[in-house]
Structure 1
Amino acid sequence: LPNTPDSLKLFYTAGQMEWADYFEANIYHELLNDDIYSVDIKLYNKYLADKPHSTHLSLESAPRLGVYVGWKIVSAYMERHPEVSLAELIERTDYEAIFRDAKYKP
């Protein structure tokens, strides 16, 4: 879907996508500094729940920010590793290596 707007890929409105893009670094640093390795199930609601907005942020915030950050990490990985097909990436199970090799820095 290379010609499809990113907002549609994430099921965001254009406004939600603009919000997420604007606050991308803040979102990533909050996740990285506070929650990235947590196994607390309560974080599902914070980062993945399908709600009108992220409940721990403003009413204007985009929902499912964990999906947004994951998409950015995978996009960064695929840009750095064009030899890897999407099918190959999906089969990989060393998620730490994917995260590290993406070198994602918003």
Structure 2
Amino acid sequence: METSLETVALFSLKLAYEEEGLSPILRDDMVMGDYQKDVFELLVRRGDVETIQFKLNECLELAMSAVGGIEKPLGRELHKLSMAFSQAESVEQLQQPVVLLTNYLKDIQ
């Protein structure tokens, strides 16, 4: 689960900040500091769904802007997936929406 959370953050930030022809954003880049696997591991262990959602929603908002917002087809689908993620009330309920977000963000890279 922690790796999937980190992956959603990574691909969201890639959409928002990575520019063609420049170095790619990697997991150990400074921009990923608050979104690394060990940070999510601690939050998952604590069952802190609210903080997990807050952190990932920060990244997803950046990704949403990068794809043109909810008015665009990519944005509508991202919004739908992020709403399912935001409605989860337990760590277990986060699992499926995180997998769907991960797959979608990988696909639109």
Common fold, TM-score beyond 0.5? Answer: no
**Higher helix proportion, which one?**
2
Q: Which structure carries more relative contact order (alpha carbon 8 Å, separation 6+)? A: 2
Q: Which has the larger radius of gyration?
A: 1
TM-score by length of 2: 0.29
